């Protein structure tokens, strides 16, 4: 099987990745099978640097979209320090990883003395969500309200700022981590939350209906940010509503809302130009994603699947694959798996077309590799027909 693909294996670089694709996509996604490994993040950084030369100016990562605004401000020459950007600009504790720090440092240095049109941009495309809790909708709702209140007649607003504050109440009502496992602890279906969903909908509608006026009254950057606040507010309120659900479909609704928020953010980012996207494979693949949680198996359409349905060949997905993670007990892969076939090549890093891999593995494809560690998701060979390429890292050393 190794001989069947050896001639088509390339070093991981921008030209090799782009040659796998029928056209240069507006959204080029690189997945990873686990989070936090420096070897995978370093590969992402190196590839982005090369893609910049190919016209990609934005990198979008699996992190809070509102926190990401702070990183974007920093890399485009704004005030503050690198330490501050890493501390407050990432969710999921991603700011602590050295490779993420190096990415932000390099982007700021690259942007120095460049005009705004040539600067690199950073974006988080995840919602303000953690696996154990979700943020209050306060930041997004109040920012959207403030944007409109400063530019349109007050009589058009659905409520005053004080009324909005009263409806929101204390933030800890929204962020209670117990609500993730106990729907009764969620405020997502309270009378106030129901009213807030109507307010958010009215604010977003006002943003749309006042577009001709706002085009003259606000900069493009301000308008893009206002739309982000609108998407985030409505998405968070929908997420909190699902947290209060007591039906068996509760977790499916939660993961679906999250990836829908991701997809909407990616589509909006693509409006400004080509975007390089990095996240877990499960958020980027075209086939249905699945995972086992405390409430059982959950299946949903990922952000990548939703974006692909919208833009077709303007979306491309290169899945990440990994040979060993010795410090997590993930040893050399069985030879009949995707990872085993790539591991036998002996290359530290390589990329290969998914169709060539599928042909080498045969039909029907073998079963996916089994992982002894819950934090690593092997690549399923049955997914190869729906993937553009596979970027492989042979060994992940301890960070």
b/e 21-59 (16+ beta carbons within 10 angstroms → b): beeebbbbbbbbbbbbbbbbbbbbbebbbbbbeeebbbb
Backbone angles phi and psi of 353, in degrees to 5: -65, 140
Alpha helix ranges (H) inside the chain: 2-6, 14-19, 38-52, 68-75, 82-88, 98-111, 138-149, 161-168, 172-175, 191-209, 211-217, 220-243, 250-270, 281-284, 303-311, 338-343, 354-361
Please, are residues 302 and 289 in contact by the beta-carbon 8 Å criterion? yes
At CB < 8 A and 24+ separation, what contacts does 287-296 make? 287/383, 287/386, 289/255, 289/259, 291/255, 293/251, 294/181, 295/248, 295/250, 295/251, 296/251
Among positive and negative, which fits the CA dihedral 9, 10, 11, 14? negative
Contact in structure between 388 and 317 (CB atoms under 8 Å): yes
Alpha-carbon torsion (334, 340, 346, 348), positive or negative: negative
How many Å apart are CA 353 and CA 157, to the nearest integer? 52
Place of tokens 């995972």: 291
Contact 391, 317 (CB under 8 A): no
**Number of C-beta neighbours around residue 150 at 10 A:** 10
The rounded average pLDDT for each run of 10 residues, N- to C-terminus, in the chain (399 residues) is 79 97 97 96 98 97 98 97 98 96 98 95 96 93 98 98 98 95 96 98 98 97 98 98 96 96 98 97 97 86 98 98 96 95 95 94 92 95 97 91
Which CATH number does the domain 1-131+261-396 belong to among 3.20.20.60, 3.40.50.720, 1.10.10.410, 3.40.50.11550? 3.40.50.11550
| C-alpha 290, offset from chain centre | 17
pTM above 0.85, yes or no: yes
φ and ψ at residue 190, rounded to 5 degrees? -75, 165
Sign of CA dihedral 236, 292, 334, 2: negative
What is residue 132's predicted lDDT score, i.e. its pLDDT? Answer: 80
Distances (CA, A) of 64 to 67, 179, 194, 262: 5, 20, 24, 10
| Phi, psi for residue 165 in degrees, rounded to 5 | -60, -40
CA 323, CA 196: separation in Å to the nearest integer? 48
CA distance 399 to 397: 6
- Find out whether 349 and 12 touch, Cβ atoms under 8 Å: yes
Structure tokens that stand for 297 in this block:
């198996």
The full set of domain ranges for the chain reads 1-131+261-396, 134-250
């Amino acid at each position: 099987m190794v001989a069947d693909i050896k001639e088509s294996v390339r070093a991981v670089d921008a030209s090799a990745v782009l040659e796998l694709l029928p056209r240069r996509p507006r959204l080029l996604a690189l997945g990873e099978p686990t989070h936090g490994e420096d070897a995978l993040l370093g590969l992402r950084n190196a590839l982005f640097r090369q893609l910049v030369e190919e016209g990609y100016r934005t990198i979008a990562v699996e992190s809070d979209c509102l926190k990401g605004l702070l990183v974007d401000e920093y890399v485009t020459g704004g005030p503050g320090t690198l330490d501050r950007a890493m501390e407050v600009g990432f969710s999921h504790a991603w700011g602590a990883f050295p490779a993420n720090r190096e990415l932000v440092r390099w982007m700021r240095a690259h942007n120095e003395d460049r005009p705004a049109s040539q600067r690199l941009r950073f974006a988080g495309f995840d919602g303000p969500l953690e696996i154990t809790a979700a943020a209050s909708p306060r930041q997004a709702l109040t920012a959207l309200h403030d944007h409109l209140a400063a530019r349109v007649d007050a009589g058009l607003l659905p409520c005053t700022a004080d009324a909005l504050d009263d409806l929101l109440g204390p933030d800890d009502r929204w962020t209670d981590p117990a609500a993730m496992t106990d729907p009764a602890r969620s405020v997502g279906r309270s009378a106030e939350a129901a009213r807030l969903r109507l307010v958010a909908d009215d604010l977003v509608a006002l943003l749309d209906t006042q577009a001709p006026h706002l085009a003259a009254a606000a900069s493009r950057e301000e308008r893009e940010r206002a739309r982000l606040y609108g998407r985030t507010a409505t998405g968070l309120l929908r997420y909190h509503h699902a947290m209060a659900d007591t039906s068996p479909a509760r977790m499916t609704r939660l993961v679906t809302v999250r990836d829908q928020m991701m997809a909407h953010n990616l589509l909006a980012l693509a409006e400004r130009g080509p975007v390089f996207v990095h996240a877990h494979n499960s958020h980027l693949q075209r086939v249905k994603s699945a995972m086992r949680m405390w409430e059982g198996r959950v299946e949903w359409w990922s952000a990548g699947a939703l974006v692909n349905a919208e833009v077709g060949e303007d979306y491309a997905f290169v899945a990440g694959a990994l040979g060993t993670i010795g410090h997590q007990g993930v040893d050399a892969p069985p030879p009949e798996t995707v990872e085993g076939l790539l591991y036998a090549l002996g290359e530290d890093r390589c990329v290969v077309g998914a169709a060539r891999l599928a042909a080498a593995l045969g039909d029907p494809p073998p079963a996916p590799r089994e992982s002894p560690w819950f934090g690593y998701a092997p690549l399923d060979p049955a997914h190869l027909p729906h993937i553009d390429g596979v970027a492989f890292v042979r060994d992940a050393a301890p960070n």
